[in-house]
């Protein structure tokens, strides 16, 4: 009893592939390795069928093509296979009742067909030739006897698909419990010897290490390099790479609890705007198919593609030594453009034929640092499966026997089975309840269950879908989605049954993926009492009150806040120290003492002052040279400004950082306003082109015209003249105030196109 409890406790904890408990790794064996093999013909035939059924089951469970019996590492490879001639031929062959061919047989058949028609010539395209080949091959196969050919294909067909997981067993575990390890973690040499995979897994065990102590600057150094792997993703302008040590670190948390965590040796992410919005695809792919576009956005995307390629290759070159020492390389690079960035150039750190390279054997999301860490945890975490193998083998054997029967042409119209009104209503309820649970709409969910008189034992329909097989009840679904509030509401308000099991024999508590959801079950046990349900059968641990949960979360929050505060303090001290050292070094480079240097001019002092403002506020995106008008008269300027913060204009910027379009946004106080983009981020800004000389002449001309008109319309005495002059001066002053704000800004600019500061337009230069 104590041993069983210990084993259950081991299986509840996350199991790390490279640091398994000694009692598990000591007697672990590959699944099926210790099973006796009989020599009788009938038993051998049955065993062969079971193995084939297991292979088919493995294929169907992964990203694969069940028709062609081929599996793939990712969805992109599967899509390419669907567009291939091999898949198209098998689809047409199945519709005609002909046997399907595997990849080797299809290649051989195409080769024989090419030999038979090698004397003919055709001017049609490659795509038309592929279609003609399929038609000719189908006609040729139709002439062969279906029975004879079917028997031959069936007897020679072997599935080359491999399940991404290798399953291991242990005498300490229950007979229906297996431990799964991803096949990709084993080298190609180790996979060629399946009987030694258990020994290889034992050799991979690494001792956990304590984190190095801080050296006073907040940074610790590891004494020696440890075994590590390289992970890399690229796609859609996003790139992420990471080197992770396989030896876990032991961190001691509050209360003396030791926790193992992964140690990241190095990581880096890049992002550039390279994907065409709302249309998809890279700019280079669009140029290759439709020709080069000449818009501002296309130029920006081409520049970003080149910059991203340069940054990635420089990073891989810097990491080359660590990449060469890595045990495995996990790379996700879908598409020709992305693969060209990583492979096939001079001095590439990654070689396309490197046997260490693997794809991720599961679905991945956008390339980010957190996604790489999630993939590392998924790769190195042991999967625990509890399956009734006898029932599964019998069902798969029966399905295999039905598959071996000669296929018949698919009927033109398939009649769907009629659904009863009760099942139809249950399906509607299933859709509504699942949607409310996914959005955590607790009041709406409670109201829907009460209004429609849905019992607490309600199960989702149809029950044969993969989702409803794993989550047949609302409580299963809420627990699987890690929604503690919904779990607590279903248990306390609807009296949902926590002892119900799904198709895998697992209770709702066993589907919970985080501690908050598991705590919701424990809080419900405390609130509902021990007599409400058989909590032990539901696998729910001891009860805990809501107050205890809140207090624990508050303690953890304060601890995390203190750790973050200490980290920031150490980092600030380090930055201050580096700043002092940098200043001392700068003084030493200038010739020793600061007083012995050459006295700066007023312009140099202003330039240093504005540069310091630029470094402190990072506002360089507001001012630039205009490449469209930079060759014109020196009175023409281009200013990028922020409408919300017009005074915050930095004085120095460079035209290579921006792209100015011909799209006119309007007319500003000093000139025409155009649309501009910052190349680095794609940020949209307003670009104002200023002609100070034309503005000054215009103001002077309009003011003189007003004076002449005023004198001509009416004769004034001395008092009237004074009032008129005062009125004109007031109106001119109001006009000057409109321009004065931006004129002051221009007066401070240390720009290559400014003639003299005294000539910049202001109140003094606009006097009549």
DSSP string of 704-746, one letter each residue? HHHHHHHHHH----HHHHHHHHHHHHHHHHHHHHHHHHHHHHH
168 with 40, same domain: the answer is yes
- Look at residue 727 and tell me if it is in a domain: yes
**Three-state secondary structure call for residue 666:** strand
31 with 156, same domain: the answer is yes
- Look at residue 210 and tell me if it is in a domain: no
CA dihedral 693, 699, 705, 708 (to 10 degrees): -110
In whole angstroms, what is the distance from residue 506 CA to residue 387 CA?
Answer: 11
**Three-state secondary structure call for residue 752:** coil
Q: How many CA atoms lie within 13 A of 137 on its CB side?
A: 28
User: Which of 544, 572, 591 is where one domain is finished?
Assistant: 544
Closest to 297 in 3D by CA, of 687, 680, 677, 685: 677
> pLDDT value at position 487?
92
> pLDDT value at position 42?
40
> pLDDT value at position 399?
74
**Three-state secondary structure call for residue 571:** helix
Considering only residues 85 and 403, tell me which one the structure prediction assigns the higher pLDDT: 85
628, two tokens: 């469209």
Q: How many CA atoms lie within 13 A of 752 on its CB side?
A: 10
Residue 356 confidence class, pLDDT cut points 50, 70, 90 = very high
> pLDDT value at position 592?
47
Of 55, 94, 279, 283, which is the active-site residue? 283
> pLDDT value at position 230?
95
Residue 242 confidence class, pLDDT cut points 50, 70, 90 = very high
What contacts 129, CB < 8 A, 6 or more positions away?
Answer: 122
> pLDDT value at position 15?
85
User: Which of 544, 561, 577 is where one domain is finished?
Assistant: 544
Closest to 198 in 3D by CA, of 175, 226, 166, 224: 166
Residue 420 confidence class, pLDDT cut points 50, 70, 90 = confident
What contacts 380, CB < 8 A, 6 or more positions away?
Answer: 16, 17, 18, 185, 246, 262
Closest to 28 in 3D by CA, of 205, 199, 208, 207: 199
Residue 259 confidence class, pLDDT cut points 50, 70, 90 = confident
241 with 367, same domain: the answer is yes
| Residue 304 CA: distances (Å) to CA of 110, 529, 559 | 43, 62, 42
140, two tokens: 């040729």
Residues 383-392 have a mean pLDDT of 75
What contacts 613, CB < 8 A, 6 or more positions away?
Answer: 619, 650
Closest to 756 in 3D by CA, of 607, 593, 634, 633: 634
Residues 69-96 have a mean pLDDT of 78
Considering only residues 639 and 682, tell me which one the structure prediction assigns the higher pLDDT: 682
| Residue 600 CA: distances (Å) to CA of 594, 607, 757 | 12, 10, 18
User: Which of 474, 509, 544 is where one domain is finished?
Assistant: 544
The separation between CA 574 and the C-alpha centre of its own chain, rounded to angstroms, equals 33
Is residue 76 a contact partner of residue 335, using CB atoms and an 8 Å limit?
Answer: yes
What Rg value do the Cα atoms of the chain yield, rounded? 37
In whole angstroms, what is the distance from residue 450 CA to residue 447 CA?
Answer: 5
Q: Does 686 score more than 80 pLDDT?
A: no
> pLDDT value at position 635?
34
- Greatest mean pLDDT range, 144-153, 294-303, 631-640, 732-741: 294-303
**Three-state secondary structure call for residue 659:** strand
Q: Does 322 score more than 60 pLDDT?
A: yes
Element (H, E) at 265: strand 258-271
CA dihedral 603, 605, 607, 611 (to 10 degrees): 180
Q: What CATH number should be reported for the domain holding residue 352? A: 3.30.420
Q: Report the first-to-last Cα separation within the chain, whole angstroms.
A: 104
- Look at residue 204 and tell me if it is in a domain: no
528 with 626, same domain: the answer is no
**Three-state secondary structure call for residue 715:** coil
Q: Which domain holds residue 311?
A: 227-254+264-383
The verdict on whether residue 688 carries a ligand-binding annotation is yes
Write the pLDDT tens digit of every residue in 200-225.
888 888 876 666 665 543 344 444 56
What contacts 384, CB < 8 A, 6 or more positions away?
Answer: 11, 15, 177, 178, 179, 180
646 with 535, same domain: the answer is no
DSSP per-residue string spanning 82-134: HTSHHHHHHHHHHHHTPPP--HHHHHHHHHHHHHHTTT----S-HHHHHHHHH
> pLDDT value at position 576?
84
| Residue 278 CA: distances (Å) to CA of 281, 298, 679, 724 | 10, 14, 20, 61
- Greatest mean pLDDT range, 83-92, 614-623, 681-690: 83-92
Closest to 701 in 3D by CA, of 674, 735, 675: 735
**Three-state secondary structure call for residue 153:** helix
22, two tokens: 């000694």
Residues 169-191 have a mean pLDDT of 86
Can you give the length of the chain in residues? Answer: 768
- Look at residue 588 and tell me if it is in a domain: no
23 with 162, same domain: the answer is yes
**What is the maximal distance between C-alpha atoms in the chain?**
133
Query: What's the total number of domains in the chain?
Result: 4
11, two tokens: 């299986």
> pLDDT value at position 331?
94
Is residue 296 a contact partner of residue 315, using CB atoms and an 8 Å limit?
Answer: no
- Look at residue 203 and tell me if it is in a domain: no
What is the DSSP secondary structure assignment for residue 465, as one 8-state letter?
S
Question: What strand order describes the sheet that includes 684-691?
Answer: 636-641, 684-691, 671-678, 658-667
> pLDDT value at position 716?
57
**Three-state secondary structure call for residue 685:** strand
- Look at residue 683 and tell me if it is in a domain: yes
Write the pLDDT tens digit of every residue in 626-677.
333 332 332 334 444 444 444 443 333 335 566 666 677 666 555 666 666 6
The helices-and-strands tally (H runs, E runs) of the chain is: 26, 15
Query: Could you tell me what percent of the chain has a pLDDT over 90?
Result: 18
In whole angstroms, what is the distance from residue 355 CA to residue 351 CA?
Answer: 9
- Alpha-helical segments (H) within 157-225: 188-192, 197-203
623 with 535, same domain: the answer is no
> Residue 432 catalytic?
no
Which of 74-83, 228-237, 464-473, 657-666 shows the lowest mean pLDDT across its residues? 657-666
72, two tokens: 């793939």
The separation between CA 385 and the C-alpha centre of its own chain, rounded to angstroms, equals 28
Residues 71-87 have a mean pLDDT of 78
623 with 709, same domain: the answer is yes
97 with 160, same domain: the answer is yes
In whole angstroms, what is the distance from residue 477 CA to residue 469 CA?
Answer: 11
Which of 61-75, 98-112, 120-134 shows the lowest mean pLDDT across its residues? 120-134
426 with 307, same domain: the answer is no
- Look at residue 450 and tell me if it is in a domain: yes
In whole angstroms, what is the distance from residue 654 CA to residue 661 CA?
Answer: 16
Residues 329-336 have a mean pLDDT of 90
Is residue 178 a contact partner of residue 172, using CB atoms and an 8 Å limit?
Answer: no
In whole angstroms, what is the distance from residue 201 CA to residue 182 CA?
Answer: 11
Is residue 371 a contact partner of residue 240, using CB atoms and an 8 Å limit?
Answer: yes
Q: Does 417 score more than 50 pLDDT?
A: yes
Neighbouring C-beta atoms of residue 99, cutoff 10 Å: 20
Residues 238-249 have a mean pLDDT of 90
In whole angstroms, what is the distance from residue 91 CA to residue 592 CA?
Answer: 82
Note the pTM of the prediction, 2 decimals: 0.40
Element (H, E) at 8: helix 2-12
372 with 435, same domain: the answer is no
Cβ burial 476-504 (10 Å sphere, 16+ → b, else e): bbbbbbbbbebbbbbbeebebbbebbbee
Write the pLDDT tens digit of every residue in 585-632.
777 665 544 444 455 666 666 555 544 433 333 333 333 333 333 323
Residues 123-138 have a mean pLDDT of 52
- Look at residue 324 and tell me if it is in a domain: yes
| Residue 722 CA: distances (Å) to CA of 412, 715, 717, 718, 726 | 100, 13, 9, 6, 6
Q: What CATH number should be reported for the domain holding residue 452? A: 1.25.40.20
87 with 162, same domain: the answer is yes
- Beta strand residue intervals within 679-748, DSSP E: 684-691
Say if residue 462 is preceded by a cis peptide, omega within 30 of 0: yes
Q: Does 515 score more than 80 pLDDT?
A: yes
Write the pLDDT tens digit of every residue in 551-567.
999 999 999 999 999 99
């Amino acid at each position: 009893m104590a041993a069983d409890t210990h084993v259950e406790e081991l299986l509840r904890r996350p199991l790390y592939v490279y640091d398994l408990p000694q009692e598990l790794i000591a007697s672990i064996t590959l699944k099926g390795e210790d099973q006796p093999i009989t020599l009788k013909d009938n038993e051998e035939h049955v065993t062969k069928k079971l193995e084939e059924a297991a292979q088919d089951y493995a294929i169907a469970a992964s990203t694969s093509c069940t028709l062609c019996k081929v599996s793939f590492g990712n969805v992109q490879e599967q899509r390419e296979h669907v567009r291939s001639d091999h898949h198209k031929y098998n689809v047409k062959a199945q519709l005609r009742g002909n046997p399907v061919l595997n990849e080797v047989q299809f290649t051989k058949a195409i080769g024989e067909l090419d030999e038979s028609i090698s004397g003919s010539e055709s001017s049609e395209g490659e795509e038309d030739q592929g279609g003609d080949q399929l038609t000719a091959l189908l006609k040729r196969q139709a002439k062969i006897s279906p029975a004879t050919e079917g028997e031959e294909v069936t007897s020679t067909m072997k599935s080359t698909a491999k399940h991404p997981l290798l399953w291991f067993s242990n005498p300490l575990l229950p007979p229906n419990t297996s431990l799964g390890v991803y096949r990709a973690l084993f080298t190609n040499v180790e996979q060629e010897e399946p009987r030694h995979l258990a020994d290889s897994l034992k050799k991979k065990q690494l001792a956990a290490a304590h984190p190095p102590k801080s050296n006073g600057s907040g940074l610790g150094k590891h004494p020696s390099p440890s075994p590590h792997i390289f992970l890399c993703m690229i796609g859609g302008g996003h790139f992420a790479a990471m080197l992770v040590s396989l030896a876990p670190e032991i961190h001691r948390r509050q209360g003396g609890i030791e926790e193992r965590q992964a140690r990241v040796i190095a990581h880096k992410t890049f992002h550039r705007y390279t994907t065409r919005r709302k249309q998809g695809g890279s700019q280079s792919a669009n140029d290759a198919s439709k020709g080069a576009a000449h818009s501002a956005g296309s130029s920006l995307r081409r520049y970003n593609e080149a910059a991203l390629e340069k940054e990635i290759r420089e990073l891989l070159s810097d990491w080359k030594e660590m990449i060469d020492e890595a045990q495995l390389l996990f790379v996700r690079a879908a598409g020709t453009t992305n693969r060209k960035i990583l492979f096939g150039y001079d001095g590439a750190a990654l070689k396309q034929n490197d046997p260490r390279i693997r794809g991720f054997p599961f679905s991945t999301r956008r390339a980010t640092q957190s996604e790489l860490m999630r993939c590392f945890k998924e790769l190195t975490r042991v999967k625990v499966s509890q399956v009734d193998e006898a029932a599964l083998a019998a069902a798969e054997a029966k399905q295999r026997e039905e598959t071996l029967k000669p296929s018949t042409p698919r009927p033109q119209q398939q009649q769907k089975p009629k659904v009863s009104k009760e099942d139809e209503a249950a399906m509607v309820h299933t859709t509504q309840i699942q949607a409310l649970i996914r959005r955590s709409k607790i009041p709406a969910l409670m109201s829907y269950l009460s209004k429609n008189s849905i019992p607490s034992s309600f199960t989702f329909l149809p029950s044969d879908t993969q989702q409803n097989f794993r989550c047949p009840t609302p409580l299963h679904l809420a627990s699987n989605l890690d929604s503690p509030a919904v779990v607590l509401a279903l248990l306390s308000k609807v009296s949902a049954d926590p002892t119900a099991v799904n198709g895998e024999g697992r209770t709702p508590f066993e589907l919970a993926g985080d501690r908050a959801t598991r705590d919701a079950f424990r809080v419900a046990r405390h609130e509902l009492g021990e007599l409400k349900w058989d909590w032990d059968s539901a696998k729910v641990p001891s009860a805990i009150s809501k107050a205890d949960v809140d207090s624990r979360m508050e303690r953890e929050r304060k601890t995390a806040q203190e750790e973050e505060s200490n980290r920031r303090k150490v980092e600030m001290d380090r930055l201050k120290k580096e700043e002092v050292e940098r200043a001392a070094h700068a003084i030493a480079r200038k010739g020793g003492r600061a007083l012995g240097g050459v006295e700066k001019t007023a312009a140099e002092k202003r330039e240093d002052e504005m540069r310091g403002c630029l470094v402190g506020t990072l506002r360089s995106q507001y001012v630039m040279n205009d490449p469209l008008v930079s060759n014109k008269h020196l009175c023409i300027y281009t200013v990028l400004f922020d409408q919300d913060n017009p005074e915050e204009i930095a004085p120095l910027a460079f035209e290579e950082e921006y792209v100015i379009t011909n799209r006119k946004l309007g007319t500003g106080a000093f000139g025409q306003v155009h649309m501009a983009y910052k190349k680095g981020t794609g940020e949209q800004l307003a670009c104002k082109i200023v002609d100070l000389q034309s503005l000054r002449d215009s103001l002077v001309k309009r003011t003189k015209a007003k004076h002449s008109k005023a004198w001509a319309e009416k004769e004034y005495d001395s008092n009237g003249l004074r009032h008129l002059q005062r009125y004109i001066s007031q109106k001119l002053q109001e006009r000057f105030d409109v321009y004065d704000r931006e004129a002051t800004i221009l007066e401070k600019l240390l720009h290559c196109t400014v003639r003299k500061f005294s000539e910049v337009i202001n109140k003094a230069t606009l006097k009549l």
